[in-house]
């Protein structure tokens, strides 16, 4: 199936590692013009060596001004954005007894506003041009409450609502907005989460990982490329009637009607 992504201008946040890096690779392989954003200039340099012909911009997307500057810089370099893939930001996992209002606020900054701050300028530009797709890589913590991921899960849930609401608001202007909710995926970010889970349960990280995988009916974690391939399809014209939904990719771990 041809996805017709050749020459499309694609911006991937969190594109220097993990799922974001896998998305950048996948869009490049389809012939798209790709730009990536990360907080770390070092990580961007490493990713550019691996990816080759990509535009890079270092920005902390918790800062709305920096996020808007990233969009402006990318549009100058790769052209008006056709696709935005958001995959930057993760909230620290904290046991419920240790949560404070500061933890909740930090989680919203780290996950919710790092997405909203770049979605806002991008979607307004897309709406003015009458075309565009936003794919938000969110996380199943927004649907399934975890005692060590309540603050971050709440940010994920807010992003799911924003995804649905923005899709509704911008559908008439030619912009689609969709979400992906990965479950356990083989990335460094999940490895960090396993440390928090292990500490909360008083077990080793290895035991926590084994228990996590055992709860997945498919019997394994997802690979970043599998999430990226779903993002490719959703961003393509082949998914032209899919908008306003968030799709779970957790290996059937949480069977539910959505």
Position 255 scores a pLDDT of: 83
Going 26 to 175 to 135 to 55, the CA torsion angle's sign is positive
DSSP 3-state of 195: helix
Percent of the chain residues past pLDDT 90, beyond the cut? 77
Position 195 scores a pLDDT of: 75
> Do 179 and 163 meet the contact criterion of CB atoms below 8 Å apart?
yes
Position 1 scores a pLDDT of: 66
User: What does the pLDDT look like over 84-127, one tens digit per residue?
Assistant: 999 987 778 888 889 999 999 999 999 999 999 999 999 999 99
How many whole angstroms separate alpha carbon 216 and alpha carbon 249? Answer: 11
How many whole angstroms separate alpha carbon 23 and alpha carbon 226? Answer: 9
Position 197 scores a pLDDT of: 75
| Mean of the per-residue pLDDT values of the chain | 93
User: What does the pLDDT look like over 42-94, one tens digit per residue?
Assistant: 999 999 999 999 999 999 999 999 999 999 999 999 999 999 999 987 778 88
Domains and CATH numbers, the chain: 9-249 (3.40.50.720)
How many whole angstroms separate alpha carbon 136 and alpha carbon 118? Answer: 11
> What is the token pair recorded at 130?
């009458």
Confidence of residue 220 (pLDDT cuts 50, 70, 90): very high
* Residue 147 burial (10 A CB sphere; 0-12, 13-18, 19+): middle
- The answer, yes or no, to whether residue 181 has pLDDT greater than 90, is yes
- The answer, yes or no, to whether residue 258 has pLDDT greater than 70, is no
> Do 6 and 209 meet the contact criterion of CB atoms below 8 Å apart?
no
User: Phi and psi dihedrals of 35, rounded to 5?
Assistant: -125, 145
Q: Which helix (H) or strand (E) holds 86?
A: strand 83-86
Going 45 to 22 to 114 to 133, the CA torsion angle's sign is positive
Q: 13-17, 136-140, 189-193, 237-241: which range is least confident on average?
A: 189-193
How many whole angstroms separate alpha carbon 204 and alpha carbon 185? Answer: 19
| 5 Cβ neighbours under 8 A, 6+ residues apart | 27, 30, 31, 32, 83, 232, 235, 236
Confidence of residue 142 (pLDDT cuts 50, 70, 90): confident
Position 35 scores a pLDDT of: 98
Q: 52-82 burial by CB neighbour count: b if 16+ within 10 A, else e?
A: eebbbbbbbbbbeebbbebbebbbeebeebb
Residue from 3, 16, 66 nearest 44 by CA? 16
Provide mean pLDDT across the span 184-212: 80
| 232 Cβ neighbours under 8 A, 6+ residues apart | 3, 5, 23, 26, 27, 30
DSSP code, position 172: G
């Amino acid at each position: 199936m041809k996805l017709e992504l050749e020459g499309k201008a694609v911006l991937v946040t969190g594109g220097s590692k993990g799922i974001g890096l896998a998305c950048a690779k996948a869009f490049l392989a389809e012939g798209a013009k790709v730009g990536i954003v990360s907080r770390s200039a070092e990580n961007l340099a490493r990713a550019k060596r691996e990816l080759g012909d990509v535009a890079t911009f270092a920005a902390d997307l918790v800062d709305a001004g920096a996020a808007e500057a990233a969009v402006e810089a990318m549009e100058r370099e790769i052209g008006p954005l056709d696709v935005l893939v958001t995959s930057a930001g993760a909230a620290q996992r904290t046991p419920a007894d240790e949560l404070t209002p500061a933890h909740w606020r930090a989680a919203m900054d780290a996950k919710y506003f790092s997405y909203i701050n770049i979605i806002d300028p991008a979607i307004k530009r897309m709406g003015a041009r009458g075309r565009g797709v936003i794919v938000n890589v969110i996380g199943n913590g927004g649907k399934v409450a975890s005692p060590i991921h309540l603050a971050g899960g709440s940010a994920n849930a807010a992003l799911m609502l924003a995804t649905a609401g923005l899709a509704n608001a911008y559908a008439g202007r030619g912009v689609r907005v969709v979400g992906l909710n990965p479950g356990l995926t083989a990335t460094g970010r999940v490895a960090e989460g396993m440390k928090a889970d292990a500490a909360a349960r008083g077990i080793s990280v290895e035991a926590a990982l084994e228990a996590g995988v055992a709860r997945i009916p498919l019997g394994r974690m997802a690979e970043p490329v599998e999430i990226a391939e779903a993002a490719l399809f959703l961003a393509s014209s082949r998914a032209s009637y899919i908008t306003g939904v968030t799709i779970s990719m957790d290996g059937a771990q949480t069977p539910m009607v959505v």
